[in-house]
Every structure is written in structure tokens, then in C-alpha cells.
């Protein structure tokens, strides 16, 4: 089995290759919501949700047939219902939340999430992986040639859509070298450094492209636009708003708790960290491992397998290859650059805008790790593990052998000279 099939990787990386935009047969009761998914009137949205409820027996029959749906239809329903669930909770902003999800939304979402082995609530996949298509399939992937399937708002619509499109473009940019990173293991075993050089060059290009895309956020999605829909991404750990999490009517399970939706729920940057050998601090590892629950199971397996020996950092440290060492350092510096750009964008979008609206910064991600603290910690661990560790310290370098020999020879010459002087006296 090839790498792409084994790990469910498309030509766009972890993104789904193609996403359906058509409501599956039999699910017509959801069509009014599909037509009004971007409505800004929260009260109207919730009323629409309540108005479309089908009879319980019809809903149960539809849910029973979910396993028989084509994969493209399962993806569509999972993404669509996830968006509806989040909009229903936050439809009227942060002061009027709703913790009880109606049966005809929560029950099928819980069922399809279980079948697809993905979280049964709104997360990063509905935002990116299943929420895009090419504008013109005859043309290659580019930021100008992609569009979202589900728009969340009418106001600032272009900016809101751009927010998702930029994340989608980041996924595709990073995804171009996923298969190459896995193939690098074979090249290291065979000590095929020429092919490994090519992999490292591709990795450097991908990370550079990601950084360039990141820098477009403040232009393509203004902080004002982001602030207008930011609350939809909030988690439900706030005990004041959600003392028992959220509940799905008709579903027998514990109350559902989930964190804020964020790009950390994507495996793309962890893939680069794993490939390059980044070791995060213990507290940060808990965050990284916690985010793994949002990965597609085969994408998670990709991360695990990528971390198994041989590892590129250890390999490059063990050989005398200046070209590979230089490429590694450039990749390390570029991923560090990514972390710094990410932090500056979060500061622009969250802190500065919230200060302008006199919002208490302690309310950000209430019940979760503070974004500023987390991102700063990622910067420190990335800098420590990359830039400071690998300093062309290849043990096979002749210098590591010649220098000790040279020292020994000097010592012998000095001893002989000292002995002759003593005999002369």
C-alpha cells in the first residue's frame, strides 16, 4: 500500500481531495438550514433549527442508514451538522448561549462522528478539511482558486471566508511534502543523502510557503471581522456558561465538553515538529496530545510512524554532510519564524482588538491554557530544540578525530623537549 492510501493523504495533504456540496438523499429536512447557514440573525437561526425537526421515527431511520451513505455524503453531513451545532450554541453571542442541542441536530452528529471516528462536535475538520473546493477544477490549487462550502456570516463575509481559506491554503502548502517526509526514513536507512537533500529542500519550501500565507491574515481578514465571529470557535469549558457542558437530546452519553477550535487541532505543524525532532515541554505536550483526539485516526498514525527511528535530526547529527546540516538549520529557523508570526497574529487578532472593546483578557479561552502563554512556550521549546542543539556537531567529522591526535602529539613533543632541557642542566 502506498503512503497516500495508508495514511489517507490526498494531493493536498490532510485535506480531503474533493468535498460534496449536496445534501444527501433523504436529509431534506436540513435544506432550510443549508440555505440559511450564513444568516447573522441568531434568533432567526435558532427558530429555523426548531422549525425543521422531523418526526422521531423518520430521524431514527435516517440515522440507521448513515453507515450506508457514500463517504462524501458522510463528510458533508459531519461538516454541516458540526457547523450548525456551533452556530446554535453561539447564535446570539457570548451572553446568550444554548447548551441543549436539539435531537435532530445532535443525535445524527453524534452518530456520524462515532462512525467516522471523529469528535461528535464542531472542530477543525468542518472548518478546513471538508469545507472547501476548487473554483475551477481545471486549474491548480491556489488561494485565488479555492472557495468555502459553508460561510458562517453575511457581515464581513469575504473576510470571514478568507479566514477559513487561509487555513485551508496552509494545510495544502504543508501537505505537499508529507509523503516525502515519510520516504525520508528509507533514504536514511540506505544512506541516500542525495534524495534526503531533496526532501529537506521540499520541507523548507513548504514551511516557507506556510509562513508567507500566515502573513496574509491581517490583510485578507481584518481583526474587526475576526472579532465579529470569534465566539463561534469558543469551547464549552466555561463553568459559568456551561456548568455541565452541552447535551445532545436523545443521546445517552456524558455531557459533552470540548475546547476552543484552533489550528492546533490540525496535524500539519505537529508533522513538521515530529519530522524535525522538536521536543516540547511537559505542559505543552499535554496540549499537543490533547489535540490529537481531533485528528483523523490515520493522520494520527502518520504522526506516530513519522516519529519512529530513524529520525532526521539524529541522522544528520551522526554524519558529516554540511549540505544536510545547513538545510536542517534553515528548516529549524523557518519553523521558529512560523511560531513567531503565529504569536504576532494572535496578538493582533485577540489582545489588541479585545482591549479596544474593553474586554477582560482573562476571559480568553476561560477554563483552558492561555493562548499567549502556550504560544510563547512553543517558541521557547522550538528555539531550544532546533537552533541551539544542532550546531554541525557531526561526530564523523575528521576534526573530531584529528584535534585529539594533534593535542597528543603536541604533548609528546613538549615532554621530549622538556626532558632534553632537564638533561642539559
C-alpha distances out from residue 305 to 147, 159, 204, 389, Å: 32, 37, 21, 23
Transcribe 107-159 into DSSP letters: HHHHHHHHHHTS-SS--HHHHTTTSEEESSTTS---GGGEEES----STTHHH
Residues recorded for the chain: 425
Q: Name the DSSP class of 233.
A: G
pLDDT digits (tens, 9 = 90+) for 190-207: 999 999 999 999 999 999
Instruction: Give residue 262's pLDDT.
Output: 86
pLDDT of 128 above 50? yes
The CATH architecture assigned to 3-387 reads Up-down Bundle (1.20)
pLDDT digits (tens, 9 = 90+) for 135-190: 999 999 999 999 999 998 888 999 999 999 999 999 999 999 999 999 999 999 99
Q: Which helix (H) or strand (E) holds 63?
A: helix 56-64
Question: In the predicted model, what is the mean pLDDT of residues 337-356?
Answer: 76
CA torsion 356-362-245-243 (nearest 10°) is -110
pLDDT digits (tens, 9 = 90+) for 39-56: 999 999 999 999 999 999
- 414, 422 contact by CB (below 8 A): no
- 247, 99 contact by CB (below 8 A): yes
pLDDT digits (tens, 9 = 90+) for 75-100: 999 999 999 999 999 999 888 999 99
pLDDT digits (tens, 9 = 90+) for 247-266: 999 999 988 999 888 888 99
C-alpha distances out from residue 129 to 10, 106, 250, 281, 302, Å: 11, 21, 28, 29, 16
Amino acid at each position: 500500500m502506498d503512503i497516500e492510501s495508508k495514511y489517507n493523504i490526498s494531493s493536498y495533504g490532510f485535506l480531503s481531495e474533493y468535498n460534496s456540496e449536496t445534501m444527501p438523499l433523504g436529509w431534506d429536512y436540513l435544506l432550510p438550514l443549508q440555505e440559511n447557514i450564513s444568516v447573522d440573525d441568531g434568533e432567526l437561526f435558532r427558530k429555523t433549527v426548531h422549525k425543521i425537526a422531523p418526526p422521531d421515527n423518520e430521524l431514527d431511520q435516517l440515522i440507521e442508514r448513515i453507515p450506508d451513505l457514500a463517504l462524501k455524503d458522510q463528510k458533508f453531513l459531519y461538516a454541516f451538522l458540526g457547523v450548525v451545532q456551533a452556530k446554535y450554541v453561539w447564535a446570539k453571542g457570548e451572553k446568550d448561549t444554548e447548551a441543549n442541542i436539539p435531537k435532530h441536530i445532535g443525535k445524527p452528529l453524534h452518530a456520524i462522528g462515532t462512525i467516522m471516528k471523529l469528535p461528535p462536535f464542531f472542530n477543525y475538520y468542518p472548518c478546513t478539511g471538508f469545507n472547501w473546493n476548487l473554483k475551477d477544477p481545471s486549474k491548480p490549487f491556489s488561494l485565488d482558486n479555492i472557495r468555502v462550502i459553508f460561510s458562517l456570516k453575511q457581515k464581513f463575509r469575504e473576510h470571514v471566508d478568507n479566514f477559513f481559506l487561509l487555513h485551508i491554503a496552509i494545510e495544502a502548502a504543508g501537505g505537499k511534502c508529507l509523503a516525502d517526509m515519510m520516504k525520508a526514513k528509507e533514504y536514511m536507512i540506505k544512506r541516500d543523502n542525495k534524495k534526503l537533500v531533496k526532501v529537506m529542500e521540499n520541507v523548507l519550501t513548504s514551511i516557507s510557503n506556510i509562513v508567507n500565507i500566515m502573513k496574509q491574515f491581517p490583510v485578507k481578514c481584518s481583526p474587526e471581522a475576526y472579532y465579529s465571529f470569534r465566539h463561534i470557535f469558543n469551547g464549552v469549558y466555561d463553568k459559568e456558561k456551561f456548568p455541565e457542558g452541552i447535551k445532545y437530546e436523545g443521546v445517552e452519553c456524558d455531557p459533552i465538553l470540548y475546547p476552543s477550535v484552533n489550528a492546533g487541532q490540525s496535524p500539519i505543524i505537529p508533522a513538521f515538529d515530529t519530522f524535525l525532532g522538536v521536543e516540547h515541554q511537559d505542559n505543552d505536550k499535554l496540549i499537543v496530545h490533547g489535540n490529537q483526539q481531533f485528528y483523523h485516526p490515520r493522520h494520527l498514525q502518520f504522526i506516530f510512524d513519522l516519529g519512529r527511528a530513524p529520525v532526521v535530526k539524529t541522522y544528520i547529527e551522526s554524519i558529516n554532510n554540511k549540505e544536510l546540516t545547513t538545510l536542517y538549520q534553515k528548516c529549524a529557523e523557518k519553523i521558529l519564524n512560523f511560531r513567531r508570526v503565529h504569536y504576532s497574529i494572535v496578538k493582533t487578532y485577540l489582545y489588541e482588538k479585545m482591549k479596544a472593546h474593553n474586554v477582560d483578557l482573562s476571559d480568553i479561552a476561560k477554563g483552558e491554557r492561555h493562548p499567549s502563554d502556550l504560544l510563547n512556550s512553543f517558541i521557547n521549546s522550538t528555539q531550544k530544540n532546533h537552533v541551539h542543539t544542532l550546531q554541525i556537531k557531526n561526530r564523523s567529522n575528521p576534526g573530531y578525530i584529528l584535534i585529539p591526535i594533534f593535542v597528543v602529539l603536541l604533548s609528546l613533543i613538549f615532554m621530549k623537549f622538556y626532558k632534553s632541557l632537564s638533561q642539559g642542566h
